Amino acid sequence: MEQETGALFRELIAPESSAVDSALYDRKLADTGLFPEEILGDSKVDASQYLTAWIERHDLDHRTSHNTHSAKKTPLDRLLNGTLKIQITCKECKETEEHHEDFTSPLQLQVPADAGDINLEGCIDAYFKTRTVQNHECQYCNQLVAATRKIWFAQLPPNIVFSLNRTHDSGAKISTPVRVNLATIDLQGWCGPHVATKDARRYELSSMVMHRGESAQNGTYVAACRVHGSGKEMAQLDGDIHEDKWRIVQDETVSKNKATRMIRNFDGAAQLLFLQKLA
């Protein structure tokens, strides 16, 4: 599948803009069979569901074509695979169950509808908040009980994707701005004790996908990608030198944008955030 996907994008890239011809992309993608038909044909599917479907298909295709045992990491695993530790404590017998859960697909963060604005850390904090769960089947007292559920990172991946859920129960879009620190995002507060000593916890935002529109059924997606470099490398890109800049990709158009301007224009539209671990 890696070869098929790479060949598809090489064919679709428009040389004059370094962007994908979106109409041709839709037609070609349907022909490849890389996605289930229900994903491509459903106007309600958002960017997060689209990415998750691609990751799952890529993973399945790789394991099948390489006859790979499930325990062996795929190329996407090496980029995106992390581990959550889940701890559930029974409120009746007070015993605790623990297990680990690997993740590769985006972690789903809920954007509050009633907040004036919030930062990314606030959304992450809500995801990892200790919760009470009902009707948990306790393996110690063998009954359905209320229990507390705690989760944290047991292993951090080189890259992590957060999906900001902006869909209200009514189907309306939640446009609450989510502020993101473009310099450093430290995940220390949501890591288990062993992660702090063996893994770097600091990330930066490398790219993001934004949605402009009132609901998932209408509007358009825009991508923003950070460009690193200095000196000759950046001069070749822009004709001037900046520590880092962004490229905004919308359909076949690629435009330049500084980080502060990008945040001001798009912080209420961000849906997918791609974080890269700092060296």
Give CA–CA dist 201/116, Å, rounded: 28
**At 239, is the pLDDT very low, low, confident or very high (cuts 50, 70, 90)?**
very low
Predicted confidence at residue 244, as pLDDT, reads 58
Predicted confidence at residue 40, as pLDDT, reads 55
Predicted confidence at residue 279, as pLDDT, reads 73
**Is residue 5's pLDDT more than 90?**
no
Using DSSP bridges, classify how beta strands 107-110 and 96-103 pair: parallel, antiparallel or unpaired: unpaired
89 Cβ contact list (under 8 Å, min separation 6): 95, 96, 97, 147, 148, 150
162 Cβ contact list (under 8 Å, min separation 6): 106, 107, 109, 120, 123, 124, 272, 273, 275
**Is residue 234's pLDDT more than 50?**
no
State mean pLDDT over 211-240: 65
**Is residue 162's pLDDT more than 60?**
yes
* In contact, 207 and 224? CB cutoff 8 Å: yes
Identify which has the larger pLDDT, 111 or 40.
111
Predicted confidence at residue 26, as pLDDT, reads 62
Predicted confidence at residue 149, as pLDDT, reads 97
**Is residue 71's pLDDT more than 90?**
no
Helices (H) and strands (E) in the chain, counts: 9, 16
Predicted confidence at residue 31, as pLDDT, reads 67
SS (H, E, C) 13-73: EECCCCEECHHHHHHHHHHHCCCCHHHHCCCCCCHHHHHHHHHHHHHHHHHHHCCCCCCCC
Look at residues 30, 27, 5, 48 and name the one whose alpha carbon lies nearest to residue 211: 48
Residues of the chain above pLDDT 90, percent = 34
Predicted confidence at residue 67, as pLDDT, reads 55
Give CA–CA dist 228/68, Å, rounded: 35
Amino acid at 207: S
Predicted confidence at residue 270, as pLDDT, reads 87
- pLDDT tens digits, residue range 73-90? 777 788 899 999 999 999
Predicted confidence at residue 35, as pLDDT, reads 58
Predicted confidence at residue 131, as pLDDT, reads 96
Predicted confidence at residue 227, as pLDDT, reads 83
Predicted confidence at residue 231, as pLDDT, reads 44
Domains of the chain as residue ranges with CATH: 35-277 (3.90.70.10)
**Beta-ladder partners of 107:** 162
pTM summary value: 0.78
H or E stretch covering 234? helix 231-238
Predicted confidence at residue 196, as pLDDT, reads 62
State mean pLDDT over 96-116: 91
State mean pLDDT over 253-258: 78
